[in-house]
Amino acid sequence: MIWNRVDPAKVRRLFYPQVSVVVAVKSDGRIGAMPAIWCMPLSFNPPLIGIALAPEHETCKMIKKARGFTVNWLDYSHAREVGELGEISGRDFADKLAAVNLRTVKSKVNPQPLIREASAVLECQVREEHRTGTHELVIGEVLEAHASAHFRDYWDFSKYEPLPYAGTEQKRGKSWRFMSTRRATMRVAFKHSG
């Protein structure tokens, strides 16, 4: 293979496609949420997951305060809502999920909001935080996990269509690009220019 050097600022894009999740939190009566792709398991038992967030995001600040959060997998049919969540700020809304027409249901184990439209959800308690360069790595213990009937031992991908993020696109304005596992590409236009 012949290789070209990759600019360090673009290294993260080598990891694409990565399934998007929505991380959600309730703190001081407000609901925050944001799409995230830097999210992965870190342990079998206890079940730990890690999520790396930019600390300037309102959602990150709220998670650090609430000491809990949820992880929500929305399927491909919700690409637009997930993209839009990344385009608005939690500072402007008391319920950021409602602002993109997603509904919540309360977690049974902590006061954190689960997204009703999600195909799977994790209820997490913050165990550790590590500052890693520009980001904050939040390590959460999964207290409870639930999924639709399309997940049994594994996802049935003939029924559940995941939402892998594949980067942005500059074509008549900037868009989020999601890659279907069924070979279509969904674009969600950026609202603000950037």
Mark 41-60 with x for binding to a copy of itself (rule: CB under 8 A) and - for no binding: xxxxxxxxxx-x--------
Q: Secondary structure of 32-78 in the HEC alphabet?
A: EEEEECCEEEEECCCCEEEEEECCCCHHHHHHHHHCEEEEEECCHHH
Distances (CA, A) of 54 to 35, 118, 191: 12, 23, 20
Q: How far is the CB of 188 from a copy of itself (least distance, A)?
A: 16
Q: Which stretch binds a copy of itself (CB under 8 A): 38-46, 61-69, 86-94, 186-194?
A: 38-46
User: Of 40 and 94, which CB lies nearer to a copy of itself in the complex structure?
Assistant: 40
> To the nearest whole angstrom, how small is the minimum distance from the Cβ of residue 143 to a copy of itself?
9
Q: What are phi and psi of 98, to 5 degrees?
A: -60, -35
> 138 in the Ramachandran plot: left (φ > 0), alpha (ψ -120 to 50) or beta?
beta
Other beta carbons within 10 angstroms of residue 40's beta carbon come to: 10
**Dihedral-angle region of residue 47 (phi above 0 means left; psi in -120 to 50 means alpha; beta otherwise):** beta
Question: Phi, psi (5° rounding) for residue 186?
Answer: -105, 130
Stretch that binds a copy of itself, among 23-31, 61-69, 91-99, 147-155 (CB under 8 A): 147-155
With respect to a copy of itself, which residue has the nearer C-beta, 87 or 144?
Answer: 144
**Does the footprint of a copy of itself cover residue 193 (CB under 8 A)?**
no
CB closer to a copy of itself, 47 vs 64: 47
Residues binding a copy of itself (CB under 8 A) = 1-6, 8-19, 37-50, 52, 73, 116-122, 128, 130, 132-135, 137, 139, 142, 144-149, 151, 153-155, 157, 162, 164, 166-167, 179, 181-183
